[in-house]
Structure 1
Amino acid sequence: MVNNISVIIHGPLEEDFLEKNLNAIYRQLKNAKVIISTYKKDAEKVNILLKKTKNYTCENIEVLSCDDVFNPGFFNINRQINLVNAALDAIDKESFIIKVRMDQTINFTLLMKLVNVFSSDIKGKLITTNCYTRADRWYHPSDMLLAGDYKILRDYYPVEFFRETHMDNILLIRELVKSNHVKDFHSYWPESRLFTNFVKKRGDIIKESAEDSLEKLKTHVFVINSWDISLKWKKFLKGWIPVLPYTFKMAPFRDGPEEDAYNFKASDLNRVPSKNKESMFIRISKIYFKTGMYHFNPLFFSYRKFLLRVGRKAFDISLKFIPPIFHRTLVTIGRKFYYAIK
């Protein structure tokens, strides 16, 4: 049974999700120590929010006011290292740590129940979720939710920042693509960099192969399906439902490789509470992504742009059925409507 628990909440302020997390921690982890690691511009806002939150007392929470980094790194890897390291420096080294981003929520009761049920499997491993532990990339566990003993999290996050800038890596990958290099980009992805450093720090050897990647994940990571702990993310349907593992083609950046992106199931790597439940959610996920429903994510979907595209298409089709003498007038009217909506 784990009793000494610390929770790290890090990132730019997301007031609604921070409040949800604090309320959940109050209800589910009464004696947990909470470290909120954020930027100086947000720290005062966090303190104001805490004064309004009656459930929690200041003794349970420490707010860290951090400077931003000069070099954010590839996809902000140095920003994550900066905020998490600041929290690790302020935390009880004997505690079990749960790390969540500011724009995420989880059910802490369900997480700790799984930690206790699978304690022998989890011992000495980094706990993460299947979303987004990538099966198409080597050495790529998710870094959204992480949990484990202090030493595990301390080994996972390097003390020093990565020197490469975001543009450095983009240019390097662009050159690799031009030279027909089509795989093994794991040295550049933030999650893979963190994980391979973690494996090496533990005295293991990276053998640079798909088989070794799978073996290292099974050896050093315990994966929990997102729905088993109700992991929700603001960027996924505004956090209305648990995050689903994705399946689609993507090109992460211009002139980079197109990836057939998909995630592991937890049962691919370790035991799970229910394979039937896992199978059901995987089916739902495939329907959601295969049908293209993810394009209508309310956080990113622009109804204005959608209506403009539909209107333009309908206008182009209508011109085929209207005499050419009226085309100029219709185009003038169409432009006025277009820019009025835009």
Structure 2
Amino acid sequence: MLRQSKGKFLLKSEALLEEFIWLHLKPLLNLDPVKKQYFINKQNRSDILGVNPEGRLAILELKKGEGKTSIDQLLRYQDFFRKESHQDPNFERVDFSKKFLLIAIASHFNSSTIDYAQKMIPDCLLLTHELKQYENGEYFLLLKKLDNRVLSKIPIEIIEDSLFESLPSFIQGYLLDKPEIRERVLLIIQKILSYNSEIKIEEKVNYTGRTYKEILFTKFDSKKQILTNKTCAGFNYFPEENIGSGKLQLYVCLPTVAFQPRQAKWIKGVDEIDIQTEDFVQVTQLLDFNTILHLEGGFQLKYPFQITGINEIFDNFQDYYINYRKYMKSRQKLRPVDASDFTSVDSIIQMALEDWSVR
């Protein structure tokens, strides 16, 4: 997590720095979060957008090293927000008639960068970041003004763990702030990766519609392409689900039959099944596509199951999969499962890994 540069400790990853500051905008800068990685154009995304108590939009650009490029980015993004209208509901608290707050955060600023910033955007706030360990052993993330005075600080836990450090920065940042579930999430990831050496981590980002990031546990072919039906599980991270704190959603991939409204027919296949859990130990609910249709649109829950000699309609995914695993020839070499296998996160993960092994 840590690196040393110019005699001070810094976070290794710019993405982790961004995630941590996003999650602590209020105590660090007295800002409420608005958007993270906001799409400007194909080449540019604004790191962090916030709003102060007076409704002024704050545009933040972060750099783990020297901050020269952040000044040019702030100028471009300021111009963009002056010209464009913004219908996103997250901007409702922003008064676009008020002057923007421009904030550049970097490990250091050269004198030429400071001169450039004062010339181009004189009221831009330049802050340096560093990690400092105090006598009691605690680490704090410090934001400092150019005169080296501390503007704000917040405690940060330093985790020296190879599995943790191998994860994408957005997961690291989220788990740093969630010690109550961190160990459980790491154990789940370890369980998946240790099941088979061919299971690898893939990271994805979706910027369309509901912004989220994803890590999936999957198998690749020789061309590094994800194989069909060879993803066994994953996590979706919604940074704005509960604005400021986000939400981490675990899912497994299992065979199911889903009703496709546009085609007005049932489609069999391997699909994501969301595991609703508060503690990543006990399961509170499973959400597959049919259940979501049922909850959101009143769709009657049905799971047709047809093979030679059997023609049944189940009213929940659990019963469908228990029988699928019992009667489908490709699954008969696996151990049988029952309702108890659907009560804990560990047992569902194990079930999904076993199913993955025969797909």
TM (normalized to structure 1)? 0.28
Higher relative contact order (CA 8 A, sep 6+): 1
Q: Which has the higher strand share?
A: 2
Q: Which has the higher helix share?
A: 1
